[in-house]
Structure 1
Amino acid sequence: MFNGLYSHLSPSDAEIAAQTLTEESQYHFPAFSTNDAVTLGLSIRKRFRGSSRHTTKGRGLVISIQTVAGHTLFSCSVGELGAPSSLGDASLDSWACLEGMINVVRRTGHSSYYVEKGLMALGKTPKEMGIRSDYNVNGGAFPIWLQV
């Protein structure tokens, strides 16, 4: 009788965090080489360039695939870099923002999206949880784990 009654409601932050954690645990690779990083990076770039976020809305994107030690395996931007009047494009600040997300992944071992949704589910701010200002708790950075 009540099936589908609330199907229009968005999932809660706790549900999104739980789903994200499940997805993180499922994505383990047997190996990950520099060639894999380039292939993955170019695939993300191609997919984004074909998306409405880029083609219709003019949004930009920065991509960086790094080792946990900080060695860059792939990096690129999509959009006009450094154009102050184009808010949707990639900017120099975009790279700093991305580094903050990568800091979250390095510190927690989880995606910055999971950490963001987990904090929201707890009703806490990054500052309340003692997260440093050079950490950017927003979705965007995802750990790549290898199978043991």
Structure 2
Amino acid sequence: MVRVPTVLIADDTASIRFLIRTNLELAGFDVREAVDGLDCVERLRASADADDLPDVVTVDVMMPRQDGVSTVHTIRADERLRHLGIVMVSTQNLPADIQRGLDAGVDAYVTKPFDPDHLVSTVNDVIQRRSQA
């Protein structure tokens, strides 16, 4: 049986979560949602085993309770989670913003508004790179 790749979306805006979810589901992904960075980390840590973890997490930068950069730092610092692919999806599009995300440990950075095909191909690329690592 072929395993369907899973993505956890962390974004505080319901319409953005819906847009990302719809495009990823149409591309064949299993999609879960978190309402902010803290919810994202809690959901990841609550996963019973490695098979229950997503392949990729998409993270917005600007979120309440815990922003995206802090969320990435938290994921990368956790031995059980650090292998996950992370794609930052944000309106923050200055070179310094993108560099901040890369420095935190994201695998890719997609700026909003995004082209749905670009988002899907980016998530697929991250999954492929992570599986070869």
TM-score normalised by L of structure 2: 0.32
**Bigger Rg, structure 1 or 2:** 1
Select the structure with the greater relative contact order (CA < 8 A; seq sep ≥ 6).
Answer: 1
Greater strand share, 1 or 2? 2
TM-score normalised by L of structure 1: 0.30
